[in-house]
Amino acid sequence: MSESDWYWGAVVRVDEARDLLVELATHVDGEQVRSQDPTTGHITLFYAPLRGAEAAPQLADRIRERVAALPAFDLRCAGFDEFSSPARPVAWLGITAGQASLATLRELLCACDEDCHRHAFVPHLTLAYGEGATAYAEVRSALREVADQATIDARIDAIWIAGFPADGHPARDLRYVERIPLASG
């Protein structure tokens, strides 16, 4: 892995999650448990292989025409859940409306490039990452209490090519680079 390698992916932005992410940040320390940056609320659809920092336009070009044929859709995120892991537990909200559209987008994206997603695809809005199970366990109930109250509604009219440096962290270093509109976006 070189200094210029980036993790690239395709995401839907969920800017409507900003207030929730700001609130969650008050319950974490920012190092042992990191809330997702409030300006980068998103649902990841696809992970590409590590590539150079300049790779976003090429990835966008491979998918632009196919994505442009898909209609915009409504999304609803609600229901706290988590991915348990001793190394990096993740808190998230589930998807209660728009799952079929997300699955269609993911299928299309996987046909356009190599997918490096290592787990079964579970569409979700990431809230926070623990850098270990112990630190995460200390704030879990506070995260759950805040997230259980939340319902996030959004109109999705585009996907984004987004990435972060290989030596970075998705909670603080994610950057939206290329916007690809959906049919009615």
pLDDT digits (tens, 9 = 90+) for 51-81: 888 888 898 998 998 898 999 999 999 999 9
**Residue 108 pLDDT exceeds 70:** yes
Distance of CA 87 to the CA centre of its chain: 19
Name which CATH class applies to 5-181. Answer: alpha beta
Give the residue among 43, 179, 182, 48 at the shortest CA–CA distance from 110. 48
- Burial classification of residue 46, based on how many CB atoms lie within 10 Å of its CB (0-12 exposed, 13-18 middle, 19 or more buried): buried
The alpha-helical segments, DSSP class H, found in the chain are 18-25, 56-68, 99-112, 133-148, 170-173
d(CA 53, CA 108): 23
Delimit the domains of the chain by residue range: 5-181
Tell me, what's the pLDDT at 2? 53
